[in-house]
Amino acid sequence: MSLLDQQNLLAKLYTDEKFRREFLSEPEKIGKENFLNEREISDIKDILPGEINAFADSLFYKRLREVEKFLPLTRKFSGENFELLFREFSREFNPKSVKKHLEDAFEFSGFLQKSYFETLWIKDLAKFEQARLEFSGFGKNCVFKSFDFDLRQIFSAGNETGFEFKKRKTFAVWLRIGKRIKHLII
């Protein structure tokens, strides 16, 4: 196996939880399925499972912390659900672009909008932050989104949590005209 193939296999081992569990439970079988020779299988097996899992966890938490920077409001108001849902999301999605953290945050926002929350307006926060990322991170000149809850009321809640907001249709627009940027919540 070439060095590049070995590196790709190790990357998959560290980032794909299901693959990692399969390899750790049946290293010879999974190794052979991935074209490793006996020596390569043995070399990878010699890395203690705890070390493999610890490194994989460090990669997960690095990824999570970067996404939290892009989605501060969603992170703040969704509490511990944010990390749990990101773990579920990260099992199925690996960013491909050069803007990996931005892509991760954008796609995770979409995932959150389809997830279950007792507090429904958190989905609107995820949608708002996704729209903001679409505008600023992907260079759009115009982004228009509608929301089920009054975002201004949510933003004015500040650091307080535990609010229940009433449904009220709201719209947000981001515009770029030349070098001028305008953002409105209606």
163 lies in the same domain as 93:
yes
100 lies in the same domain as 140:
yes
CB 14 within 8 A of CB 52: yes
Q: What is the pLDDT of residues 21-46, one digit of tens each?
A: 899 889 889 888 888 888 888 888 77
118 lies in the same domain as 57:
yes
Retrieve residue 38's tokens: 């006996």
- Count up the domains in the chain and report the number: 2
117 lies in the same domain as 142:
yes
Retrieve residue 160's tokens: 């307080």
158 lies in the same domain as 77:
yes
Q: Report the pLDDT value the prediction gives residue 62, as an integer from 0 to 100.
A: 94
Q: Report the pLDDT value the prediction gives residue 132, as an integer from 0 to 100.
A: 95
Q: Report the pLDDT value the prediction gives residue 84, as an integer from 0 to 100.
A: 94
Which is more confident, 180 or 14?
Answer: 180
Domain residues for the domain of 8 are 1-47
142 lies in the same domain as 96:
yes
pLDDT surpassing 80 at residue 1: no
Q: What is the pLDDT of residues 125-160, one digit of tens each?
A: 999 999 999 999 988 999 999 999 998 887 787 655
38 lies in the same domain as 63:
no
CB 96 within 8 A of CB 103: yes
33 lies in the same domain as 105:
no
101 lies in the same domain as 145:
yes
